[in-house]
């Protein structure tokens, strides 16, 4: 499964992932539901650090809460996610 498929499944299962610029308000992304910031789960977004665990934990929390939005703020580099198929 490639990165696009992983993100697509996450969006379908949890109601959406928000990719936003720094000018976007987190609270405006999902006024009716839970909105979690990936950085609150330890994601660095420097293009080198493995952020997989932060994404897994954030998505698990959204699932527990019945869905919502995962806010992924813009960074100068990229978030690194290792996708595995089982």
In order, the DSSP letters of 26-45 are HHHH-TTS-EEEGGGGT---
Q: SS3 for 49?
A: coil
Tens-level pLDDT at each residue, the chain (86 residues)? 555 555 555 544 444 555 544 444 555 554 447 899 999 999 999 999 999 999 999 999 999 989 899 999 998 888 888 877 76
Long-range contacts of 62-65 (CB under 8 A, 24+ apart): 62/14, 62/15, 62/34, 62/36, 63/13, 63/14, 65/34
Residue tagged 């698990």 (tokens): 60
Determine how β-strand 17-20 pairs with β-strand 69-73. parallel
Determine the pLDDT at residue 58. 95
């Amino acid at each position: 499964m490639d990165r696009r498929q992983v993100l697509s499944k996450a969006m379908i299962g949890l109601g959406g992932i928000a990719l936003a610029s720094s000018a976007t308000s987190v609270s405006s992304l999902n006024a009716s539901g839970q909105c979690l910031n990936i950085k609150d789960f330890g994601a660095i977004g420097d293009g080198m650090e493995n952020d997989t665990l932060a994404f897994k934990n954030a998505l698990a929390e959204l699932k527990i809460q019945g869905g919502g939005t995962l806010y992924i703020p813009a960074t100068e580099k990229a978030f690194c996610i290792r996708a595995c198929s089982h």
